[in-house]
A and B are shown apart, each in its own frame.
Chain A
Amino acid sequence: MHPRLELRNISKRYPGVVANDDVSLSIQPGEIHAVLGENGAGKSTLMKIIYGAAQADTGEIYCDGNAIAAHNPAMSRALGIEMVYQHFALFESVSVVENIALSASGAFDLPSLADKIRELSLRYGMPIDPHRQVHDLSVGERQRVEIVRCLLQAPKLLILDEPTSVLTPQAVVKLFDTLRQLAAEGCSIVYISHKLDEVQELCDTATVLRNGKVTGTARPKETTSLELARMMVGSKLPEMHVSPAAPSEKPVLEVRNLSAKARDHFGVDLKDVSFDVRGGEIVGLAGVSGNGQAELIALLSGERTHGHYDAIKIGGTPAAGLRPDERRKLGLAFVPEERLGRGAVPSHTLWENAVLTAHRLGTVSKGLVDRRKASIFAAGVIDRFKVKANGPGATAQSLSGGNLQKFIVGREIALAPKLLLVSQPTWGVDVGASAFIRQTIVDLSRAGTAVFVVSEELDELFEICDRLLVICQGQVSPSLVRTSTDREEIGLLMTGRKMSKDRSGDVALQD
């Protein structure tokens, strides 16, 4: 029998990088095949080549034994290859059924398509209402829409790109059930991920990529995580050192009964949020994205002010009505989620970007920028935080995501803040840089700074935080001590359900 899909010696180079170097793999009908690798290992490029969105420089692709000559997405779909993107390709302003109708062939008959969607989504255990507007859906629900859209085409091969990065642990369980059901019906699945535990739980075989090359193939269920990790990142695995926290007597950040309406239709109202962060400890905020994190961060950083001055106190000073620069004077430093555009100006040089927040350290005098001092400051950050960059004169957009994030975190830490606010510290950053950034944050807190981290990566929060909060639909849970909670409890809180002991064995799932 022919494999469902076979890649032979695929190579693809972009200017300056070899994205894929002589990659071969083969996938049988009904097989769940993992493509495992760090960010930047070439997974996404390989998927684009399979789907036809990018062309390989050399190598061949066979589908059911036939070579695919001129490849493009339309050809893929004719062959029964469907792809669920990491960042969903959905239109926010129209309904689920309209979104699906746009990519469906055949007559424009919304009522009958809606029936099909309802029927199919129930059959695979992920109910969706076809008439809801997409902007009203949670990220998990949007993913269901994407998957149902693919399933309507009765695919023979389904590609999923990092599908669990936006899901609660319970939703992941549900997704895996669906994928297993699909595979049992003969559909092949390519599952792209950098999460070892998921690959071991779900996948039959794995191809591991590093720097564009295949570094190994394995049966993940029979291979230890250590072996898989070695294949992924090479010999040296980063290690974290987290010493016990010694929280300060008084909180550095106090949030009391903070309520705020969302600024637009796509936002979430914050309801009566209260918590403290003390000096020397790291408090993490877990939650599925779009549950009010953006609103909370904007209110804490000062991008948005609040009428109740006492709702937010920094170092005992009422700060809710203060502008960002006034809060920075109180000792706040802030690393936003978007590196390019909010954390740094893409087209400006690193020293110019350094001036943006480090103007208090003498890089600006009498209203004029002191280029020499700014360059020295930027060079210091580059040096101390091991940023790979072409000196202080390099533009922010010329750095890789991980290096720019190191620079931004470094810039904020160099300000010696009393309170550090970090949103998604390692989003889209490779394993090595992630570990470095996390370690840097831990070291900063152990030196006495209060740190508040917002992250969608539970692993990350469990690794570095002393206490955890969970946000769901604008409400923040009481704090949980890291050492006495677990992923399941956090996961339930993320879906807005309270933990009850007698039901813990029978976990209800998010709808």
Chain B
Amino acid sequence: MELFIAIFTGTIIAATPLIFAALGELVVEKSGVLNLGIEGMMLMGAALAFWAVTAGCSMPVAIVAGALAGAAASLLFGVLALTFLTNQYAAGLALAIFGSGVSAFLGRGFGSVPIEALHRVDIPILSDLPLIGPLLFRFDPLVYLALLMFVAISWFLYRTKAGLILRTIGESPQTSHAIGYPVIRIRYMAVLFGGLMAGLAGAYLSVAYTPLWVENMTAGKGWIALALVVFATWRPLRVLLGAWLFGGMTILQLQGQALGLQVPSELLSALPYLATIVVLLLISRNRQMLALHFPASLAKPFRPAG
């Protein structure tokens, strides 16, 4: 039972940064913009949040700082891709590389500083319930925030007019422009939101999950978040399930290594990445469903006519 609780809670925690980053990217891509720079934005968020803690800021302030760092990095991408209409693939890749470089530079000073991790919540009564308590009510606040974001984003996209506008801009910015919606401004807001979420994901890694700062500590989670969005066929629920799957595999392979399985540890470490992509590939084979949810204008530059 102890082991089950450990695996379950470990899964939820490991999935949290992916949920933030992938849901943010989902919103960006739904507006028709492809930002490949999640990895870079996460690293910026991670570095800044960690720095803020070592500089004596309170935890909430540090996390907000991390989120803002991600948003600032995304703004760079936004200016390139939306205002100057550069190729979105190139601009996103540049952001990924830039973010990893800048974060390594900023992080030089605090390589081995130990910090205190984000505290877990302690809800009276609920946290003390047998089984249910340790399973559901002893996480840190960001875990709950991630789930809240999932509900909020699903509701926003499919139940509000603003969400409808965002989705239709992703299908045809020309038509949206003709109806009179400010396509570029809305895409900027989506990109900034994506940056905020990626920054949050990075902050979670450096101040709650590990908690320490290592160069390139995201270890490809930004790219997995990107793949999650695509293989989840641009649907929030599938993003959530995919993130949990990845988290689960991460924890299982750690347990496997701890139990001393006779498999090279490199191979075990690759397992979560492999398993997530295979499963998501299988569920995204239905091309008709794909065509329905795919933002048709994805990665195509848009310049309002006349």
Query: Which A positions have Cβ atoms within 8 angstroms of B?
Result: 53-54, 73-74, 89-94, 98, 101-103, 108, 135, 264-266
Q: Judging by beta carbons under 8 Å apart, are B179 and A102 in contact?
A: yes
Q: Judging by beta carbons under 8 Å apart, are A73 and B168 in contact?
A: no
A74 CA / B167 CA spacing, docked (Å) = 22
Q: Judging by beta carbons under 8 Å apart, are A264 and B291 in contact?
A: yes
Would you give the 0/1 interface string for B127-160, flagging 1 where the beta carbon is closer than 8 Å to chain A?
A: 0000000000000000000000000000000001
At the interface, yes or no: B165 with Cβ under 8 Å from chain A? yes
Q: Judging by beta carbons under 8 Å apart, are B296 and A93 in contact?
A: yes
**Nearest CB of chain A from residue B88's CB, rounded to whole Å:** 20
Q: Judging by beta carbons under 8 Å apart, are B172 and A91 in contact?
A: yes
Q: A91-B171, A94-B167 are in contact. Are A265 and B288 (CB under 8 A)?
A: yes
Q: Which residue of A lies closest to B306 (CB)?
A: A54
A121 CA / B291 CA spacing, docked (Å) = 29
A265 cross-chain contacts in B, Cβ below 8 A: 287-288, 291-292
Would you give the 0/1 interface string for B169-202, flagging 1 where the beta carbon is closer than 8 Å to chain A?
A: 0011001101111000000000000000000000
A94 cross-chain contacts in B, Cβ below 8 A: 164, 167-168, 171
Chain B interface residue count, CB cutoff 8 Å, equals 21
**Nearest CB of chain A from residue B29's CB, rounded to whole Å:** 14
Q: Judging by beta carbons under 8 Å apart, are A89 and B179 in contact?
A: yes
B171 cross-chain contacts in A, Cβ below 8 A: 91-94
**Nearest CB of chain A from residue B35's CB, rounded to whole Å:** 21
Q: Judging by beta carbons under 8 Å apart, are A102 and B287 in contact?
A: no
Q: Judging by beta carbons under 8 Å apart, are B179 and A103 in contact?
A: yes
**Nearest CB of chain A from residue B234's CB, rounded to whole Å:** 10
A505 CA / B180 CA spacing, docked (Å) = 46
B293 cross-chain contacts in A, Cβ below 8 A: 93
Contacting A at CB under 8 A, from B225-250, are none
Q: Which residue of B lies closest to A262 (CB)?
A: B288
B168 cross-chain contacts in A, Cβ below 8 A: 91, 93-94, 102
Q: Judging by beta carbons under 8 Å apart, are B167 and A93 in contact?
A: yes
Q: Which residue of B lies closest to A99 (CB)?
A: B168
Q: Which residue of A lies closest to B181 (CB)?
A: A102
A90 cross-chain contacts in B, Cβ below 8 A: 175
- Top 3 nearest A-B pairs (CB, nearest first) are A108-B161, A265-B288, A91-B168
A135 cross-chain contacts in B, Cβ below 8 A: 292
Q: Judging by beta carbons under 8 Å apart, are A98 and B164 in contact?
A: yes
A74 CA / B161 CA spacing, docked (Å) = 19
28 sample A-B contacts, Cβ–Cβ < 8 Å, listed by A number: A53-B178, A73-B178, A73-B180, A74-B180, A89-B175, A89-B179, A90-B175, A91-B168, A91-B172, A92-B296, A93-B292, A93-B293, A94-B164, A94-B168, A98-B164, A101-B161, A102-B161, A102-B164, A102-B176, A102-B179, A108-B161, A264-B287, A264-B288, A264-B291, A265-B287, A265-B288, A265-B291, A266-B291
Q: Judging by beta carbons under 8 Å apart, are A91 and B180 in contact?
A: no
Q: Which residue of A lies closest to B287 (CB)?
A: A264
Q: Which residue of A lies closest to B168 (CB)?
A: A91
Contacting A at CB under 8 A, from B110-136, are none
A445 CA / B287 CA spacing, docked (Å) = 41
A94 CA / B161 CA spacing, docked (Å) = 12
B175 cross-chain contacts in A, Cβ below 8 A: 89-91
**Nearest CB of chain A from residue B179's CB, rounded to whole Å:** 5
B292 cross-chain contacts in A, Cβ below 8 A: 93, 135, 265
**Nearest CB of chain A from residue B302's CB, rounded to whole Å:** 15
A264 CA / B291 CA spacing, docked (Å) = 8
Would you give the 0/1 interface string for B291-304, flagging 1 where the beta carbon is closer than 8 Å to chain A?
A: 11100100000000
